[in-house]
């Protein structure tokens, strides 16, 4: 109750002091934002093999071209604590989803279990801990394959192009490791800020908590996981208020982003901060975060470590098995930055050397390029998206 009253007090002070505006609220819903930007939008629901109910957002065609008939399909998968909103947040001409739509693609955006748009299950409510008993392993073996199957069946296509950012790259590699038959459904995969090996990450937040949270963890699974950084209306309102460009706390909001992905003040539009806060964090499970912490500690790309007590039951071995990167046979394009605190150059190069079919090894030509610049960088089109589109066209 004290926290609530304090938050209301801060919000009231900021409004009264004139630091923030009580005017039009940034759009928090992805579908509403797409329609507000003048593009057609569809919502599609997918039920996974383990009964999670996911929402996808689709831009079937561009407002610039109209319904031009047969269009190649591209699937965009977000990172941890993100959602489909991140692919449209920067608006027409800048956001990747709109750029691909304008270029003639049928654009589909996925949402992983547990985020804002995928908080349903056929049997379990979200206040049951069992709902949250998953990491990004389950997103890779269930969510992504089931969404791809739905898209291909709906569009009557046999293949699509894949674009993932951060965890969206992790789950792609998990899918290919565990379900290699999906290689046949991918024309090409574009991995932005590829997150597999994490041993050299520089993110101070992760490095601070990984020694504790990244230990083999049987109890969290036995007792039940929970939601990590959930979002609600009050938190969104507080974030929007404190992160407006006119707010004295705007720079604090920017530093929060920099602490995660790396400092790159030149690529962050301060006017975008309140829109970011309207949609992020979008929620995830605690186990997703723990799994990444384990990756940092072990310096391996492997399955969730339950402990030597439970691992033999889960895997038949004392330690979790490594993912089979060699199974990722579809053409892969790697895009990474020199200033990425989550995906260090050494870790990306280790992944590159183990992947069997890398068709592009692209270090972004901007020295300060950081992890979140791939989705929110003001010059993402110039430094990354134009290259993605160029490579995608080559595989049509």
Please identify which of the residues 121, 291, 296, 371 carries the catalytic annotation: 371
Considering only 89-93, 97-101, 215-219, 290-294, which range has the smallest mean pLDDT? Answer: 215-219
175 vs 166: CA distance, rounded Å: 15
Our answer to whether residue 44 is catalytic in this structure is: no
Residue 219 pLDDT exceeds 80: no
Q: What is the pLDDT averaged over residues 153-164?
A: 98
Mean of pLDDT values over 350-377: 96
Q: Provide the pLDDT for residue 257.
A: 59
This model's pTM is above 0.85: yes
- pLDDT at res. 240: 45
CA–CA separation, 314 and 294 (whole Å): 17
CA distance 196 to 213: 18
First to last CA, the chain: 56
Alpha-carbon span 101 to 385, nearest angstrom: 12
Tokens describing residue 192: 């932005």
CB 131 within 8 A of CB 48: no
Per-residue pLDDT averaged across 261-279, rounded? 82
CA 340 to the chain's CA centroid: 15
291 is catalytic: no
Q: Is the peptide bond before 281 cis (omega within 30 degrees of 0)?
A: yes
Confirm if 20 and 68 have CB atoms less than 8 A apart: no
Our CA angle for 324, 327, 332, nearest 5°, is 115
Catalytic residue selected from 166, 247, 280, 285: 166
The residue among 26 and 141 whose pLDDT is bigger is: 141
Share of the chain above pLDDT 70, in %: 80
Separate counts of helices (H) and strands (E) for the chain: 17, 11
Give the pLDDT band (50/70/90) at residue 12: very low
What number of other Cβ atoms are within 10 A of residue 362's Cβ?
16
User: CA-CA distance, 311 to 298, in Å (whole number)?
Assistant: 15
Per-residue pLDDT tens digits for 311-353: 999 999 999 999 999 999 999 999 999 999 999 999 999 999 9
Cα angle vertex 240, ends 213, 9, to 5°?
Answer: 90
CB 345 within 8 A of CB 266: no
CA 139 – CA 148 distance, rounded (Å): 12
Alpha-carbon gap, residue 336 to 191, rounded angstroms: 8
Contacts of residue 335, Cβ cutoff 8 Å, sequence gap at least 6? 190, 191, 192, 193, 194, 360, 362, 364, 374, 384, 387, 388
C-alpha pair distances (Å), 45 with each of 71, 95, 217, 312:
21, 23, 33, 36
Higher pLDDT, 27 or 77: 77
User: H-type helices in 179-302, by residue range?
Assistant: 204-213, 219-223, 233-242, 250-261, 273-279, 286-298
Q: What is the mean pLDDT of the chain?
A: 86
Q: Collapse the DSSP code of 83 into the 3-class scheme (helix H, G, I; strand E, B; otherwise coil) and give the result.
A: coil
Question: Residue 29 in contact with residue 41, Cβ under 8 Å?
Answer: no
pLDDT tens for 169-205 read 999 999 999 999 999 999 999 999 999 999 999 877 7
Of 288, 286, 135, 298, nearest to 211 by C-alpha is 298
The third-level CATH classification (topology) of the domain covering 26-394 is Rossmann fold (3.40.50)
**Residue 233 burial class via C-beta count within 10 angstroms: exposed 0-12, middle 13-18, buried 19 and up:** exposed
């Amino acid at each position: 109750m004290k926290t609530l009253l304090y938050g209301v007090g801060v919000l009231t002070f900021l409004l009264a002091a004139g630091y923030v505006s009580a005017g039009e609220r940034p759009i928090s819903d992805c579908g509403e934002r797409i329609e507000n930007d003048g593009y057609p939008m569809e919502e599609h629901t997918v039920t996974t093999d383990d009964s999670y109910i996911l929402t996808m957002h689709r831009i079937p065609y561009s407002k610039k071209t109209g319904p031009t008939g047969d269009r190649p399909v591209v699937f965009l998968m977000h990172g941890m604590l993100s959602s489909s909103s991140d692919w449209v947040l920067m608006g027409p001409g800048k956001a990747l989803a709109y750029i691909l739509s304008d270029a003639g693609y049928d654009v589909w955006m996925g949402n992983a279990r547990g985020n804002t748009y995928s908080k349903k299950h056929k049997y379990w409510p979200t206040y049951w801990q069992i709902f949250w008993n998953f990491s990004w392993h389950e997103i890779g073996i269930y969510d992504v394959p089931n969404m791809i199957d739905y898209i291909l069946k709906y569009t009557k296509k046999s293949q699509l192009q894949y674009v993932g950012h951060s965890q969206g790259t992790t789950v792609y590699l998990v899918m290919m490791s565990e379900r290699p038959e999906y290689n046949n459904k991918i024309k090409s995969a574009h991995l932005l800020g590829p997150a597999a090996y994490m041993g050299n990450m520089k993110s101070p937040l992760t490095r601070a908590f990984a020694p504790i949270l990244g230990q083999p963890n049987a109890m969290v699974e036995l007792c039940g996981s929970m939601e990590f950084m959930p979002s609600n209306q009050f938190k969104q309102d507080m974030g929007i208020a404190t992160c407006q460009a006119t707010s004295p706390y705007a720079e604090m909001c920017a530093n929060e982003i920099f602490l995660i992905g790396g400092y790159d003040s030149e690529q962050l539009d301060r006017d975008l901060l309140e829109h970011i806060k309207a949609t992020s964090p979008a929620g995830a499970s605690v186990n997703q975060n723990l799994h990444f912490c384990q990756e940092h500690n072990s310096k391996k790309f492997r399955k969730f470590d339950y402990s030597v007590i439970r691992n033999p039951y889960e895997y038949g071995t004392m330690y979790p098995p490594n993912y089979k990167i060699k199974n990722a046979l579809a053409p892969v394009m790697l895009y990474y930055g020199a200033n990425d605190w989550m995906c260090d150059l050494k870790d990306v190069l280790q992944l590159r050397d183990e992947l069997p079919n890398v068709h592009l090894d692209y270090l972004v030509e901007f020295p300060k390029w950081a992890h979140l610049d791939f989705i929110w960088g003001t010059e993402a089109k110039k430094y990354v998206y134009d290259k993605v589109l160029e490579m995608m066209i080559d595989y049509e």
